[in-house]
Amino acid sequence: MDIETRLRKVFTEALDLGGDVDVDALTYRGIEAWDSVGHMSLVAAIEDEFDIELETDQVIDLSSFQVARKLVAELAGA
């Protein structure tokens, strides 16, 4: 499974999204589930799935699915 597919699954599960949510368009606080608590759950799930550790600045900058995809690709060495 490629990084993007795995990341979509992480977003879907961590934020408990339904099948009708456009993951590509997700932004922080753009949906009710992605509040500050949801953000920390998402960060933990991303770190676990990709065996990476995000720095504080990266956690703060994680503002959309698109940003997450780029960040994970860089950190996971893809």
Q: What is the pLDDT of residues 24-41, one digit of tens each?
A: 999 999 999 999 999 999
Q: Is the pLDDT of residue 6 over 60?
A: yes
**Cα four-point dihedral sign 29, 39, 55, 65:** negative
Domain total of the chain: 1
Average pLDDT over residues 51-74: 96
Q: Is the pLDDT of residue 14 over 90?
A: yes
Residue 62: give the domain boundaries. 3-75
**Phi, psi of 69, rounded to the nearest 5 degrees:** -60, -45
Task: Provide the CATH number for the domain around residue 63.
Answer: 1.10.1200.10
